[in-house]
Amino acid sequence: MGQSQDSRMRPPWSQESSPEEGPSTARSQQWKRAIGVLIAVLLCGLLLGSSMLWVYIFRNCGPRPCETPVCLDLLAHYLASGNRSVDPCTDFFSFVCETANGTRNSFQALTEENKSLLWRLLETQGSWHLGSGEEKALQFYNSCMNTDAIEAEGVGPLQQIIEELGGWHISGNWTSLDFNRTLRLLMSQYGHFPFFRAHLRLHPTPPHTPVIQIDQPDFGILLQKEQEQKLYAQILREQLTYLNRLGILLGGDPQKVQQHASWFISFTSRLFQFLRPLEQQQAQDKLFHVVTIKDLQKMAPAIDWLSCLQATFMPMSLSPTQTLVVHDLDYLRNMSQLVEEELLTSRDMIQSYMILGLVDTLSPALDSKFRKARRELRQKLWELKERPPLPASPRWMKCVESTGDFFEPTLAAMFVREVFGPSIQSAAMELFAEIKDAVIIRLKKLSWISEETLKEALNKLTKLQVEMGAPKQAWNPELAKEEYSDIQLGPTFLQSFLSCVRSLQIRKVQHFLHPFSYHRWTGSPWGVNAYYSVPDHVVVFPAGLLQPPFFHPGYPRAVNFGAVGSIMAHELLRIFYQLLLPGGCPGCDTHVLQEALLCLENHYTALSLSNMAPLNGSHTLLENSGDIGGLAIAFQAYSKKIAEHSGEMTLPNQDLNPYQLFFQSYAQVMCRELNSQDPQGSYSPPNLRVHGPLSNTPDFAKHFHCPRGTLLNPSAHCKLW
DSSP 248-262: HHTT--HHHHHHHHH
| Catalytic residue list contains 304 | no
CB distance 677 to 683 below 8 Å: yes
How far is it, in rounded angstroms, from Cα 183 to Cα 160?
17
CB distance 698 to 717 below 8 Å: yes
Q: Which residues of 16-41 are buried (b: 16+ CB within 10 A; e: fewer)?
A: eeeeeeeeeebeeeeeeeeeeeeeee
pLDDT < 70 positions in the chain: 1-62, 126-131, 171-172, 204, 220-230, 277-286, 386-389, 475, 477-481, 515-517, 610-618, 675-680
Q: Which residues of 63-84 are buried (b: 16+ CB within 10 A; e: fewer)?
A: beebeeeebeebbeebeebbee
CB atoms within 10 A of CB 378: 14
Q: What is the pLDDT of residue 680?
A: 52
Phi and psi torsions of 469, nearest 5°: 90, -80
Residue whose C-alpha is closest to residue 227's, from 679, 686, 610, 612: 679
pLDDT tens digit string along 49-73? 544 443 333 344 568 899 999 999 9
Among candidate residues 134, 571, 601, 648, the one labeled active-site is: 571
Residue ranges covered by each domain of the chain: 66-113+410-703, 146-387
Among candidate residues 434, 601, 623, 627, the one labeled active-site is: 627
pTM of the full structure: 0.83
* 3-class state of residue 680 by DSSP: coil
* 11: Cβ contacts below 8 Å, ≥ 6 apart: none
Cis peptide before 714 (omega within 30 of 0): no
Q: What is the pLDDT of residue 245?
A: 95
How far is it, in rounded angstroms, from Cα 474 to Cα 466?
16
Q: What is the pLDDT of residue 674?
A: 76
Using CA atoms, how far residue 220 sits from 8, 361, 362, 369, in Å, is: 119, 7, 11, 18
Phi and psi torsions of 144, nearest 5°: -65, -35
Q: For Cα atoms 526, 529, 531, give the angle at the middle one, nearest 5 degrees.
A: 125
Please give the single-letter amino acid code of residue 676: S
Mean pLDDT, the chain, whole residue set: 86
- Give, to the nearest 10 degrees, the angle between helix 106-123 and helix 408-419: 100
**Looking at domain 66-113+410-703, which CATH architecture does it have?**
3-Layer(aba) Sandwich (3.40)
Q: What is the pLDDT of residue 301?
A: 97
Element (H, E) at 462: helix 451-463
How far is it, in rounded angstroms, from Cα 363 to Cα 579?
46
| H helices present in 534-685, as ranges | 557-560, 566-573, 577-580, 590-610, 617-644, 658-670
Please give the single-letter amino acid code of residue 515: P
Q: What is the pLDDT of residue 612?
A: 53
Integer Rg of the chain from CA: 35
Q: Roughly how many angstroms between the first and final C-alpha of the chain, as a whole number?
A: 97
How many Cα atoms within 13 Å fall on the side-chain side of residue 28? 6
| Catalytic residue list contains 451 | no
* 629: Cβ contacts below 8 Å, ≥ 6 apart: 442, 569, 570, 573, 720, 721
Mention the CATH class of domain 146-387.
Answer: mainly alpha
